Amino acid sequence: MNKMTVKDVKDWAGKRVLVRCDFNVPMKDGVITDENRIMGALPTIKYLMEHGAKVILCSHMGKPHSIFSEEVKLNKKDKAKVEKGETTAEAIIEKAKKDEPKKLTLAPVAKRLNELLGGKVTFASDVVGPDAQAKVAACKEGECVLLENLRFHWEEEKKDLEFCKKLAAFCDVYVNDAFGTAHRSHASTAAIVEYGLVKTAVCGFLIEKELTVMADSLEHPVRPFVAILGGAKVADKLGVISNLLEKCDTLIIGGGMAYTFLKAQGYEVGTSLVDDEKLDYCKEMLAKAKASGKELLLPVDTVITKSFPDPIDAPIEIETVPSTAIPADMMGLDIGEETRKLYAEKVKKAKTVIWNGPMGVFENPTLAAGTIAVAQALADAEGATTIVGGGDSAAACTQLGFADKITHISTGGGASLELFEGKVLPGIACLNEKE
């Protein structure tokens, strides 16, 4: 990694530092239910505070409707309701104005940070408004201010220049430690530096670790190198599949997208999820693997059922059949026992393993066996570098108690996928290079 880190800045004392964090934590009734992202940001925050910096933290939370601006955005679900005539955009926005400031505020995060950092954190009730300006001005060396949810401003996602100028006015140095949003080209993740408004821009310890472990493992893997991809759709991982086939020795496919590969080979997949538009792409990837001498593994047996569980965790009757013999009126929702053994054996022999995407509908206890088996295989892979690329895979490892047995669990699902794809992440590209 050739980007400057917080340790490359020699004197932090008295400097105002804007730190982009990822505090988009899950909450229920105003209570944080998973503190992993907060804990992941602490080393950088503590380092800056201990070295006398005036620390200004910023983050997004959820996907607000940008209710505090003239530009109104509706999410896909709300747009569909409006199109069906079930409600109006005005009604949605009025409701959002009442609900979102309470549901998507970062105030609970500020409270928790204050507990963790010895009472040295204050919370600004706006982002670039009078309260933020006053609290940033009053911030002393070794203290911290957390700004309100960045996405309460539409300008954040639109990279608005004036908004960037207001953020930049808060700092002498910019630190990005939000790997989970490093693939987004937003005001606080990249534009503030791209516009030349901040000259010194470095990464925090969290991003440094993500890049060191993941990027180095991709570029210089100890072999055998096994990559495991799951999840629903092939379309979500087009570039990832192609790029990993060039780097790994074995590519394992599971999850919903396995059925598109099976159908591309001419097999019946019943009512399983299929990307029919990506059948030719799957054929190309199968041919690419064969031509390059790489191993591309698909499920040899499949857990099937009559219909998708509703609700998702509802009891369900299942059976297991060969993947080449799925009945026309059944759907596959997890990998079978023989596939679990096959995949675990490949992981056992590997020296580098990366995994992104569940093997089935793991939210349902009856359909979680495949995902559990892969997580267990990574946890048992002695002497191997094991990397879990965020998202559902990371959640599964944490829920199953395997987190401490994995070399690295990424904090960013989308960002890690783009890194696996070989893309340049805007939130990383904008940072200063080491001399």
Q: Which residues are catalytic?
A: 37, 233, 391, 414
Q: Tell me the torsion sign for CA atoms 358, 359, 361, 363.
A: negative
Is the Cβ–Cβ distance between 344 and 226 less than 8 Å? Answer: no
- What is the C-alpha to C-alpha distance for residues 418 and 340, in angstroms, rounded to an integer? 27
What would the two tokens of residue 281 be? 């792409």
- What is the C-alpha to C-alpha distance for residues 379 and 373, in angstroms, rounded to an integer? 10
- What is the C-alpha to C-alpha distance for residues 358 and 343, in angstroms, rounded to an integer? 13
First to last CA, the chain: 12
- What is the C-alpha to C-alpha distance for residues 428 and 122, in angstroms, rounded to an integer? 28
What would the two tokens of residue 406 be? 């994995």
Is the Cβ–Cβ distance between 350 and 331 less than 8 Å? Answer: no
- What is the C-alpha to C-alpha distance for residues 19 and 58, in angstroms, rounded to an integer? 6
Name 32's bridge partners.
Answer: 27
Is the Cβ–Cβ distance between 64 and 153 less than 8 Å? Answer: no
Q: Tell me the torsion sign for CA atoms 161, 131, 62, 40.
A: positive
Check residue 357 and report its DSSP letter: S
Q: Is 304 helix (H, G, I), strand (E, B) or coil?
A: strand
- What is the C-alpha to C-alpha distance for residues 131 and 100, in angstroms, rounded to an integer? 19
Which residues contact residue 130 at a Cβ distance below 8 angstroms, ignoring those fewer than 6 apart? none
What would the two tokens of residue 71 be? 């530009």
Is the Cβ–Cβ distance between 304 and 352 less than 8 Å? Answer: no
- What is the C-alpha to C-alpha distance for residues 300 and 285, in angstroms, rounded to an integer? 18
Is the Cβ–Cβ distance between 234 and 281 less than 8 Å? Answer: yes
- What is the C-alpha to C-alpha distance for residues 344 and 355, in angstroms, rounded to an integer? 12
